[in-house]
């Protein structure tokens, strides 16, 4: 008798609907009364930022972006802090030094306690303004003036605090938005950009060719390895490591059927995500020098993929490798950028940008770790 093939004929719910059902179940519990507002924002149009390309015709591009009424949110945030400090100085007569509030030129300087990767500019429209950026135009050399991305995805790169002469690893780099931001600092002595996917590496190469002058390519090495086994392939130890892992990509999963991790046949893969993320983070920390800094980031709201992965990685490195890792406090970051983004107030470790209708960026989670030995 012929075998019945129910599985292939039964109607399946679309992946976007499946994602929403799972989010309602998990995030309803995780965020309680905040969930309805996050949910409607996730289902509404997302807001973009324009990562400014320092290697293009900067005056023309700045004029164009300012003409649209967009502002560099990083500069604005730093200026607001400086203004507050100078007011405090005037009142008290005592100089106040704000941690990391200047985009310094890329040369050796005394490090403040909190400092951010310098020279990165990202333009956004003001809170509540839902204008869109037009596509960037190539200049006479064919270089594009800005790269459109979720402005909150710049925060992990700023948190990485790249400093002059740093050797940097971007373990899951494609399609390259954050690699491009890392290179904007002008600080990377060498940058290794790795990804497992060949087609996505193709996109990364396109991005680099559209935004960077030829001479900068000498500093970038592109590889296609499984990041989980990075230390087996290379014994270079890095000053800075970015581990921007694959995740349930919450906003995308509610919009697109194509490539969805919520597809029927990808359930096992989805269940294994936290394990993959943990292995990638551990590999990233093992690739860092003692004293080196690592940022873990995702674009999901899921605690299981965010804080829990960080906690497990810290435990595992201690037990299996006798490596001590310190989770850094980023609350200063939250204060610095609170006028642009809506941050979750109750993150135990790291910071989480929540989608909000007046600032519809994210979700982006990022956590900074220092390898101590």
Of the residues 172, 247, 299, 347, only one is catalytic, namely: 299
C-alpha pair distances (Å), 33 with each of 27, 36, 39, 64, 306: 10, 7, 11, 41, 20
Closest approach of ligand SAM to the CB of residue 176, in Å: 5
Closest approach of ligand SAM to the CB of residue 363, in Å: 12
Residue closer to ligand SAM (CB basis): 41 or 194: 194
Burial of 62 (0-12, 13-18, 19+ CB in 10 A): middle
Cis peptide preceding 363, ω within 30 of 0:
yes
Residue closer to ligand SAM (CB basis): 200 or 270: 200
User: What three-state secondary structure class fits 306?
Assistant: coil
Joined together, the tokens standing for residue 345 give 């107030």
Closest approach of ligand SAM to the CB of residue 107, in Å: 27
d(CA 308, CA 327): 13
User: What three-state secondary structure class fits 83?
Assistant: helix
Q: Which residues bind ligand SAM (CB under 6 A)?
A: 172-178, 194-197, 200, 226-228, 244, 246
Closest approach of ligand SAM to the CB of residue 77, in Å: 21
Contact yes or no for 156/366 (Cβ under 8 A): yes
C-alpha pair distances (Å), 173 with each of 243, 331, 333: 8, 26, 23
Residue closer to ligand SAM (CB basis): 195 or 351: 195
DSSP sequence for 281-295: HHHHHHTEEEEEEEE
Residue closer to ligand SAM (CB basis): 81 or 169: 169
d(CA 263, CA 12): 9
d(CA 247, CA 277): 8
d(CA 123, CA 140): 22
Closest approach of ligand SAM to the CB of residue 288, in Å: 16
299 a catalytic residue: yes
Residue closer to ligand SAM (CB basis): 77 or 173: 173
- Give the residue numbers annotated as catalytic, written as ranges: 299
């Amino acid at each position: 008798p012929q075998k019945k093939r129910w599985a292939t004929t039964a109607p399946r719910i679309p992946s976007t609907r499946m994602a929403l059902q799972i989010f309602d179940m998990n995030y309803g519990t995780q965020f309680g009364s905040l969930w309805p507002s996050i949910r409607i924002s996730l289902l509404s149009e997302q807001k973009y930022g324009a990562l400014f390309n320092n290697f293009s015709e900067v005056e023309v591009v700045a004029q164009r972006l300012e003409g649209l009424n967009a502002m560099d949110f990083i500069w604005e945030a730093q200026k607001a802090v400086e203004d507050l400090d100078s007011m405090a100085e005037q009142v008290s007569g005592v100089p106040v030094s704000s941690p990391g509030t200047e985009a310094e030129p890329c040369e050796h300087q005394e490090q403040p306690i909190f400092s951010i990767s310098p020279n990165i500019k990202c333009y956004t429209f003001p809170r509540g303004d839902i204008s869109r950026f037009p596509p960037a135009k190539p200049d006479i050399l064919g270089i594009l003036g800005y790269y459109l991305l979720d402005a909150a995805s710049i925060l992990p790169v700023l948190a990485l605090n790249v400093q002059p002469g740093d050797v940097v690893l971007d373990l899951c780099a494609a399609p390259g938005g954050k690699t491009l931001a890392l290179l904007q600092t002008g600080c990377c002595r060498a940058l290794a950009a790795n990804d497992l996917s060949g087609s996505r590496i193709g996109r990364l190469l396109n991005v680099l060719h559209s935004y960077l002058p030829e001479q900068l390519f000498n500093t970038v090495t592109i590889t296609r390895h499984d990041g989980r086994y990075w230390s087996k392939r290379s014994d270079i130890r890095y000053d800075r490591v970015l581990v921007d892992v694959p995740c349930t990509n919450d906003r995308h999963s509610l919009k697109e059927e194509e490539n969805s991790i919520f597809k029927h046949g990808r359930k096992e893969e989805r269940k294994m995500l936290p394990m993959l993320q943990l292995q990638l983070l551990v590999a990233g920390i093992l690739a860092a020098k003692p004293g080196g800094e690592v940022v873990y980031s995702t674009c999901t709201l899921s605690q299981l993929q965010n804080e829990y992965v960080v906690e497990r990685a810290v435990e595992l490195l201690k037990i299996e490798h006798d490596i001590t890792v310190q989770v850094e406090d980023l609350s200063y970051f939250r204060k610095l950028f609170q006028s642009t983004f809506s941050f979750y107030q109750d993150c135990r470790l790291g910071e989480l940008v929540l989608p909000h209708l007046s600032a519809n960026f994210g979700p982006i989670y990022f956590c900074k770790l220092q390898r101590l030995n």
